[in-house]
Amino acid sequence: MILITGGAGYIGSHTLIDLAEITTEELLSVDNFENSSAATFDRIAAICKKKVDNTEIDLTDLQKTTEVFQKNKITAIIHFAAHKAVGDSVEQPLKYYHNNIQSLVNLLQCCEEFKVNNFIFSSSCTVYGQPEVLPVDESSPILPAESPYGNTKQIGEEIIKDFCTANPSFNAIALRYFNPVGAHISGLNGELPTGVPSNLVPFITQTGIGIRAQLTVFGADYNTRDGSCVRDYIHVSDIAHAHTLALNRVQNNDNKEQFEVFNLGSGNGTTVLEAIKAFEKVSGVALNYKIGPRRGGDIEQVYSDSTKAKDELGWETKFNLDEMMSSAWKWELQLKAEREKI
């Protein structure tokens, strides 16, 4: 059985879909629905015709986490569950350190007790801080994190690395992804933040559909081609498939080291304003946006060299920026249609 933590979340749910279409192994999700919805599992079932069970627990509770392992024969874990909003982490650092670190430690304690030796960790390009040289590859220096969220990913990787040293049979891969966007090509599953979105694309689509009155671009005075931040946007389904490939790698003992890291990005830097223009082109909707001040925790620019993932995992991106925006808009229109049925 493969355990997916945060299975109702954005990337977790798309990875469940990818796994369900490929593996014959039983899948189990744990998710406390703090920033997700139980309805996601109905969407997964509609897409892949396979029901995925979820256990609703908070992974910072060691006793309840242990019970999941006692009741199920878990052989591998893909760990997504974490708080992930950069700005929120700046305002509430203790919340992020408690949730993101304690949940990881609890899972690793259970791995040790129940002899689970295959582990995929949802990491982030935020571990690189503000890179001095672009594009970023896995040998790039780990600079001071620009936010508590980024720091939890740095610390998380260090914890896993130390755990590997103490447990020679344990194999782990950290996937450092850049900026996941878009939705499943069916339009039936996508990013569904609770409350005001902290990520750019759902805020774009919610503004386009009329849920949000206006989008604020946080800073247009950066040292970039149009003054707005540069990010490496990548389709969520491309990200999801990388987790399936990484899991196969450790399960088949194809890993070259106990702890490996891979960047997941398109290799293309896109500014916030360019992302807005791409959305306007594919949707035909003129977006109401304004330029605001910079936001704490944001880095100026980052994009990936993902050659290692291509060479070692056989992973490549399939979707371009227009397709990312088009799928995100299709998902937003689907949500509108569902609201109008109620």
Tens-digit pLDDT profile for the chain (342 aa)?
Answer: 999 999 999 999 999 999 998 888 999 999 999 888 899 999 999 999 889 999 999 999 999 999 999 999 999 999 999 998 888 899 999 999 999 999 999 999 999 999 999 999 999 998 998 888 999 999 999 989 889 999 999 999 999 999 999 999 999 999 999 999 999 999 999 998 878 887 899 999 999 999 999 999 999 999 999 999 999 999 999 999 999 999 999 999 999 999 999 999 999 999 999 999 999 999 999 999 999 999 887 889 989 999 999 999 999 999 999 999 999 999 999 999 988 886
Question: For residue 94, what are the CA distances in angstroms to 26, 83, 99, 193, 242?
Answer: 35, 11, 8, 21, 31
Question: For residue 297, what are the CA distances in angstroms to 77, 156, 278?
Answer: 30, 19, 25
Identify the DSSP state of 322: H
> Collapsing DSSP states into helix, strand and coil, what is residue 321?
helix
- Residue 146's pLDDT is 86
Closest by CA position to 188, among listed 37, 9, 331: 331
Token digits for 268?
């293309």
- Residue 198's pLDDT is 79
Catalytic residue among 96, 128, 149, 289: 149
Token digits for 17?
């879909």
Q: State yes or no: is 10 an active-site residue.
A: no
CB 219 within 8 A of CB 293: yes
Pairing, β 76-79 against β 179-181: unpaired
> Collapsing DSSP states into helix, strand and coil, what is residue 60?
coil
- Residue 101's pLDDT is 98
What's the rounded Cα separation, in Å, for the pair 329 and 327?
Answer: 5
Domains identified in the chain and CATH numbers: 2-181+235-264 (3.40.50.720), 200-230+267-341 (3.90.25.10)
Q: How many CA atoms lie within 13 A of 98 on its CB side?
A: 7
* Residue 254 amino acid letter: D
Dihedral, CA of residue 84, residue 224, residue 176 and residue 50, to nearest 10: 70
What's the rounded Cα separation, in Å, for the pair 56 and 320?
Answer: 35
- Residue 296's pLDDT is 82
Terminal C-alpha separation, the chain: 37
- Residue 87's pLDDT is 82
- Residue 299's pLDDT is 86
Neighbours of 337 (CB within 10 A): 10
- Residue 325's pLDDT is 97
How many residues does this entry show for the chain? 342
